[in-house]
Amino acid sequence: MKVIRYSKNPILTKEDVPFEVNSIFNPGAIKFGNEYLLVCRAEMPNGRSSLVIARSTDGINFKVDAEPCLTPEDHGKFCKYAEWGVEDARVIKLEDKYYLTYTGYSKHMPLVLLTETSDFKKFNILGPISEPSNKDCTLFPEKINGYYWKIDRPTAEQKHYIWVAKSNDLIHWGGYECMAEPDAGTWEADKIGISSTPVKTKEGWLVLYHGVRGFGISALYKLGVMLIDLEKPWILKGKSSYPILSPDLDYERTGDVSNVIFSNGWIVENNGEVKIYYSGADTNICLATTTVGHLLSLCK
C-alpha cells in the first residue's frame, strides 16, 4: 500500500480549537491507554506557540482540549529559552514514562527542550538538551547498548543535517555522530531533519524525515523515510530516493507557509498499518496512511 491521504483532510483546523488561535499544526502522536493523543502546536494570536492535546478513540476524529498543556510561561526558570514559543513536539514512551522533545524558541534562537509526563496532565520540564541552533529532536523508545539515544538537527554555518548522541540520564549528552546529510541537487538538497519518532523493525529503526529545497524566497518541504541500524544508530542503512508525501493539494499548498508538508508524529499499529499525522502549509492537521512493509521497501 502506498501512502494514501485521508479523504476528509484536514482532520483538524483552527475552527476545532475551543480557544482563539491563528492555527493548529505539527502534532506529535502517541497511543495512551485507549486513546490516540496528538500533542499539537497551537499558534496563539500573538504569534507565539503553545502545545495543546487533541484526543481520539479511532485515530481520525479528534477533540482538542479546552486549554494548552504546555505554554512558554509554564517553563519557569527555563522560560528564557521558550519565551517566543514551544513548537513541534515528538512524543515517545520510554521505560515507564512519556517524553516530549520540542523546540524552545527565544532570542537565543531554537533549541531542544525535554519534558517528562506520566499522565499528560502534569508535565515535569527537564530543560534544554541542546544548545542553539538545534531542533527536530526525537529520543529512541528504548536503550541501545546500555545508553539512551537522541537524534537531532543542529545548524552548522549553512548546514542543516542529522546527528545522533547518547546519554546515561537523558540530561547529559555525548558521543556525537553525524547520521545523515542532504543529497545535493535533489528534493532534500538544502536541509534535512528527523520528523517522526523511530519505530523498531527487524531490519532497522524506521523513521520519517523531512527534506527542504529552497527556491529564492520560498522553500518546498517534503517527507521521506529512513532506515537506521538497530545497534549503531549513527549508521543510515537506507532511505527513500524520492519523497513519500509532497505538497500537492490546496490544503498543503496554501496557508501561513506555502508548499509545506511537515510531520513530527505517527502511530504504527500492531498489524503494520501506519497513521502519519502531518500538516499542510503550517496551517492544519492531516492524516495519511500506509504500511511498515511499504516504507521498508522504499528504503532498500
Retrieve residue 104's grid coordinates: 524552545
Candidates 10, 17, 24, 26; binder of ligand BMA (CB under 6 A) is: 26
Task: Give the Cα separation of 55 and 33 in Å (integer).
Answer: 11
Q: Which positions from 59 through 78 interact with ligand BMA, judged by CB under 6 A?
A: none
The answer to whether 87 contacts ligand BMA (rule: CB under 6 A) is yes
For ligand BMA, the closer CB: 190 or 282:
282
Retrieve residue 120's grid coordinates: 499528560
Q: Residue 81 carries which DSSP code?
A: G
For ligand BMA, the closer CB: 98 or 221:
221
Q: Single out the segment in contact with ligand BMA by CB under 6 A; choices: 148-156, 164-172, 239-247, 257-265.
A: 257-265
The answer to whether 43 contacts ligand BMA (rule: CB under 6 A) is no
The beta strand positions in 84-190, using DSSP E, are 85-94, 97-105, 111-117, 124-128, 134-139, 148-156, 159-160, 162-167, 173-180
Candidates 139, 260, 276, 288; binder of ligand BMA (CB under 6 A) is: 260
Shortest approach of ligand BMA to residue 264 CB, angstroms? 8
Q: Which of 87, 88, 267 has the alpha carbon at shortest distance from 195?
A: 88
Residue ranges of alpha helices (H) inside the chain are 250-253, 292-298
Q: What phi and psi values does residue 80 have, to the nearest 5 degrees?
A: -60, -20
Number of residues that make up the chain: 300
Candidates 44, 199, 249, 257; binder of ligand BMA (CB under 6 A) is: 257
Candidates 43, 152, 188, 282; binder of ligand BMA (CB under 6 A) is: 282
Shortest approach of ligand BMA to residue 248 CB, angstroms? 16
Shortest approach of ligand BMA to residue 214 CB, angstroms? 12
What does the radius of gyration of the chain's CA atoms come to, in whole angstroms? Answer: 17
The answer to whether 252 contacts ligand BMA (rule: CB under 6 A) is no
Question: Distances from the Cα of 225 to the Cαs of 30, 132, 160, 265, in angstroms?
Answer: 19, 26, 17, 13
Binding mask of the shown chain, residues 213 to 242, with x at each position contacting ligand BMA by CB under 6 A: --------x---------------------
Candidates 163, 262, 277, 278; binder of ligand BMA (CB under 6 A) is: 262
Nearest position to ligand BMA, beta carbon: 262
Contact (Cβ atoms closer than 8 angstroms) between residue 194 and residue 160: no
Q: If 0-12 CB within 10 Å is exposed, 13-18 middle and 19+ buried, where does residue 216 land?
A: exposed
Binding site for ligand BMA (CB under 6 A): 26, 87-88, 221, 257, 260, 262, 282
